Structure 1
Amino acid sequence: MTVEIRLRAVTEVLDGAPVVEVAEHFGVSRQTITTWRKRYQATGLDGLADRSRRPHSSPNRIPPDTEALICEMRRHHRRWGARRIAHEMQREIGNSAPSRATIHRVPIRNGLINHQEQQHKKVYKRWAREVPMHLWQLDLVGGIHLADGRECKMLTGIDDHSRFVVVAAVLSSPSGTAVCEAFIAAMTRWGVPFEVLTDNGKQFTGKFTRPLPVEVLFERTCREYGITARLTKRRSPTTTGKIERFHRTLRRELLDETGAFSSLADAQAAIDQWVHAYNTARPHQSLEMATPASLFRPRTFAEPTTGEVVRPATVATAACSPAASAQCPSTVLARATDAIEFDVRVPPSGVVGIAGIQQLWIGKNHAGKIATLWMDLTSVHVIVDEAVVKTVLSRLTTTDLERLQMRGARPGRSTPAVAAVDITTADERLGAIEIDRTADRNGIVIVRGHQLKLGVDTAGTRVTLRIDGDLIFAAAGNHLIKTMPNPLGINEIRRLTGVRKATTPLPPPPPAGPQTVQRRIPKNGRVMVAGQRIRVGAIHAGIIVNIVVEDHHFRVLDGTKELSLHARTTSKPLRVFNAHRPQHRKLSPEDRRTRMS
């Protein structure tokens, strides 16, 4: 039918009909009519039949041998997807390997992929710890069949950060004792984690034991080793999704293929061999195709606080023995005892936390700045703009320093300031000590309930108070600003915080010179300075001026421009240094209605 219609159109054109009219009559373009005519004149009636639109050549198509290699990988490893095949081909043929999208189309074109709907349409929130050995996920899994008909269970554990399998022990009986023995053996080999995450099984927790909750052996083991035991919500397996996904891979790649094992030892040997390949050779998609062993780092062994556990002489020997040398990714790390430091941005509140253990008040005046926290087992120094602004006693332990180092803290520089001292046991012969405080808007510093008046000109200034016997010396800006009697008793001094030993001499007093005050010019143009009224002029109303107070004159400045010069007739001291804020009067009902209209 198509050929007949095209022949009628060509015949009309050959009989002399205009091409435009014929194209409009048959509902096609005039270029199509011209093409039909040329093909009919060249090859006759066969030229009007449909032709293939396939290009004569495809320069961008992958070579046949590469396509055959992709299909061969897919047939031999039916669990491999396009991402895994692309990774393996990248390792085999280098940069000439095709892209992941191209590899995905090859199995589809050759009928090697069965399309299926997405099993989980819900989007889950993914999370992972930032460093290894912070969290282990533990679980019990069945499906280990023996030739005698028994079904055994296995304790599995995986590192949350690196996906490194730390324990895969087949248990003849999944009792609490067997679980703890396998757990302790894993810690003996790889080190003690900070936290473990399990479900609410009776081997892991006695929280839901009736009639009263009890502490099971696993919880006691975690308590003795200083491990935080965390539990998932009930009927919430997605919380331990990493270990559950590992179980799925274990079943598909090993248990479903091997069938029943002849004995418990054979099952353990087969699982150990497969776990070794999983840790060291098998790339992991969630790790950007890296192997778990390349990201895992063990810790040193930590003795439990109570009880005794039989373990090898050294952890390094146990973890990197000849039998496990291929699986050991690196040497055992040493515990952090030296000083460390890291940078933090000061929040608007001015309070910075350290590992959730200690909080430091740096000050709102440093909000938004980058502060360096230098810390060891004795002191914590806060460095802002290469200057130490605060020193306090450290409440961190060796484990806390190690945890911060694993989270990215760098080795600390040499001690930036004098170490803080613990004065809780100080006696009457205590030497000179120093503390840092900030004066309020009235120039007052409060120390253990005692008000130390430093002057309004020090409002908002960070001052150093040196307590030496019966005197207190206040210094700010490398100058001694005031000396006053010491109202603090020895018991009050023992309760001070942020104390350090005084090792430097007292700074000199500030050089003598005129003082400067600020005033906001009111509507009448007159201001009060040291008990004397000065007429500046109503034309300057609303602006803030600087008034230099000399011995015999008041010099009024607007920036660097001198507005007026007045003779000083009083000798009263200066009490107000800063400009007053404008007072907003309350609106009357009439003014409020007028403003709203």
Structure 2
Amino acid sequence: MGLAELSVMEQRFHAVMECLGGTPKTEVAARYGVSRQTIHNWLARYAADGIKGLEDHSHRPHVCPHRVDPSTEALVCELRRDHPRWGPRRLRFEAGRRGVTPPPARATVYRILRRNNLVPAVPRKRRREDYRRWERPEPMELWQMDIVGGVLLADGTEAKVVTGLDDHSRYCVIATVVRRATGRAVCAAFAAALTRFGLPGEVLTDNGKQFTGRFTTPRPGEVLFERICRENGIVARNTKPRTPTTTGKVERFHQSLQGECLDDGRVFDTVEQAQAAVDLFVAEYNYDRPHQGIDDAFPADRFHRPTPGRNQVELHAPKLRLPSGLLPTAPPAPRTPPAVENDATSVTVSTNRPQPVQLVRVVPPSGNLTVAQQQVWLGPTLAGTPVTIWVDTDRLHVLTADGARIKSSASRLSQRDLARLLADGGTPAGPPPLPQPEPQATAVEVDRVVNACGGITIAGRQISVGMPLAGQRVRIRLDGILLHVIDEAGQLRRILRCPLPPTACGRIRDARPASPIPPPAAAPTVERVVSITGSIQVAGQRIQVGVVHARKLVTVALDEHNVTVYDADTPIKAVPRRSTTDLNRTKAKHQITTANGG
């Protein structure tokens, strides 16, 4: 007969029956491997509840003196339901503001939210100790700036917000809504903050083209933002590429801005309406919202607190230097179109052909002139020069003060743009300075920038125009037979075979009627030292001038067909040019050693 296995409850019942049968409790406790007090507990539970009293009971205490008060738990849940984006730290702070003393711990608030299913269970993130945190010791030492999108407008476009935060206090100094985040719009927002708050010591940004030109191709240059920082003594710092955590403070501000002000696909009718909503959020963020990164202090308290020596620095701060026209001198007033005077001798202009507009502009230092959102490249050499603009909806001409044409290009302006230019000080223009080409004329010209390899691209075709023109803006004239390369000085540099047929020249993008062919440039001259074998090398072609001229410094003139070698002013050698290699240097590399005469 096999042994039967008894459950725990059955063993307890047998122990109780033995005790009730008269067996000493000490002997029963030893037999079942428990203490004598446990036998007494089993007997008391059996006497009170019968056999059900021998079941396992919970060890949970009936009273927990340190359990959070139910009213506090209800307050936390109510705050969470009213503000779904508030976390445990913010809820703990708000509970303290509402008189809960002492406020519950952050972990306690989190358990309350989990117990009431107000937050989902998420895996633990990276530990805070793993991040390298840094902060400037005083306000106005460093600003962090960036650009964020997500501002949806009723017309289907998306506006941007130029943002800036003080590194020490987290005070928002810039929150400007712009329709397009161009370099000038970003600098206008930056200049307005400088005018309001003063000059910070440093500004930290990412590597966007609005902030830095160090990655601009083909040559790095200084952008307007860097110029403003340089002229006002502000150190402009940029993050390492692809490291957004360096500007983590302003990136965290973007998360709050998008989550609490621009969430749920909110659509604004105008940019002004979006700016008003952002201003309300910034006011709450600066003055009524505790910041967890600064021990739940308010950003305004840290930004405006008195700092020893700060008033003296602001008193002796240099005058703010900004480019002209960056900030409006007065609030813009609504413009009205100029009154049109009826003249009996005037000619009625058809509405199908808008009246052209003429205006005067000064070329900026960058050489990139803007006419009603259309950019016209004129080059830094014309910086500060007043020019006359003749423009309609088809063509745009740039003229000098005496009427000489500098450049012509296709116009991208609409009738509304012309009306705006007319209201901004423009005048009705006369006939175009460049007559329309005859229908049979096929010659056109385009502007191109020569790349570092000496090539250009026209209609998808790569054309080599020469290394000496690398980086220059040249004018290419095509007539279907020949291709003329004209440099910035207006001189003819090269004549090549046209790669396009005459019928395809008129379909080139940005093509315009060609101007007359300029005279050829003067033949370039270079210097060479004759080797001991009596030879020189010019443009990839070796020329033997004779051993009698060894160690002499000679001058070489090159044109499209011939190479002429001169000793002083006397020609000593002339040969046909057989190489198409461009000149790379014009001066002789070697020094001439002359023996003492004896």
TM-score (norm 1): 0.49
> TM-score if structure 2 supplies the norm length?
0.49
